[in-house]
Amino acid sequence: MDFGLTDEQRMILGTVREFVARELLPLEAEAQRAELDGRSFPGPDDIRRLQQRAKTAGLWGLLTPEEYGGANLGMLMTSLISMETSKALIPFSYGGHADNILYSCNAEQKQRYLCPTIEGDRTSCFALTEPDTGSDATNIQMPAVRDGADWVLNGRKVFITNGLEADFAIAFAVTDKSKGHQGGVTAFLVDRAMGWSSQPIQTMGAWRPAEITFDGVRVPDDNILGEVGQGFQLAMAWIGQGRIIIPARAVGQAQRLLEMALDYSRQRIAFGRPIAEYQAIQWMLADSAVEIEQVKWLVLNAAWKADQGGDARHEASIAKLAGAGMIWRVVDRVMQIHGGMGYTKEMPIERVMRDVRVYRIYEGTDEIQRRSIARNLLKGHATLRAWS
């Protein structure tokens, strides 16, 4: 592993830092005002405008193959970019992206779904989770019943990211219950115009997932993604990338929060001295710095292995578990250092605390990550060697 960056990679990260400083950091004050007013900011239109400005700067399609107009930077650079971007404590993601499993579209589907999604003309959502099926994705129940040349979908999906904005869903349904999840689940490309509806689910943070209802929705054979019965494999392929990007985002957020804590502890006077001089504060700062550094290298290791074409699922689970816990502990310490002010909506700390709590839940809960890590070790799929 080469820990150095090329001149081109340094230039890209420099562009990211400039974009964050110029476009994102100035929006934090408005985000705080919106928090006080009970508004959501930035909204979808704001994000799209920012994405277009980022595109002008060359920040577009970070993981998208060059043949589709993307930069194809790989997971390592995308992770580093996520760390830098997340230092602005507002939600933002770069454009030019499509769900990785949409590359499994056939040629005709790519023109209808993949390419327009990359260009930002269409928006997708990944519809797997059901009211009674979260972590155990093998147990999804929503049926798809063949009727002539169509499949009829009936059921509900919940906690669907982009479910409110999406004009089509990648929906997973049971097409042959007798074959179980390995051969009985199929992925469908389902336009909203085919009849599904969505309702918002209110959460404690900025994440605004949706509940999606399929009530007799007819989907033609032409809209099957991949092959009949191979949907579960596609679903598992989709999940992997998020388990690297989420902890990368956590590193950036934690670094910014720690910077805030350092500045505040130097300025805040208690009993005639800056609180930075008290051991109780110093230990919170030190523990946070250590944990951030640990997660940073876990993320980069997983991303590097993925870029080398290796199976990085074990490393991604470790990074996801460590990162989700790290950001929660860091934001809690930073709030404690700021005292009462940290608890108010005048500062972003409490908002970040609410936003990052979901990191321990979506893309695989802490418990699922622990289960996967332990199972990999017990079955010999992963080892404790220093390098492999």
> What are the strands of the beta sheet with 224-225, ordered from one edge?
124-127, 168-174, 185-191, 224-225
Give the closest residue to 92 by CA, choosing from 43, 32, 157, 30: 43
Q: Where are the alpha helices (DSSP H) in the chain?
A: 7-19, 28-37, 44-56, 74-85, 107-109, 115-119, 180-184, 231-267, 279-307, 313-338, 340-343, 349-356, 366-378
Cα–Cα distance for residue pair 168/101, rounded to 1 Å: 14
Cα–Cα distance for residue pair 378/276, rounded to 1 Å: 45
* Contacts of residue 380, Cβ cutoff 8 Å, sequence gap at least 6: none
Cα–Cα distance for residue pair 208/156, rounded to 1 Å: 17
Q: Which amino acid is at 356?
A: V
DSSP 225: E
- 383 Ramachandran zone, left/alpha/beta (phi>0; psi -120 to 50): beta
234 to each of 105, 150, 182, 185, 188, how far by Cα in Å?
11, 21, 11, 10, 11
Q: Which two tokens stand for residue 30?
A: 């408005």
Beta-strand runs (E) in 23-166: 124-127, 144-147, 150-160
- Please identify which residue in the block is written with the tokens 């492999």: 388
Query: Do 250 and 155 meet the contact criterion of CB atoms below 8 Å apart?
Result: no
DSSP 23: I
Q: Which amino acid is at 165?
A: E
Cα–Cα distance for residue pair 159/131, rounded to 1 Å: 9
Of these residues, 84, 130, 315, 363, which one is catalytic?
Answer: 363
Give the closest residue to 317 by CA, choosing from 239, 213, 230, 222: 239
If one counts every other C-beta atom within 10 angstroms of the C-beta of residue 218, the result is 15
Look up 363 and say whether it is catalytic. Answer: yes
So which residues are the catalytic ones? 363
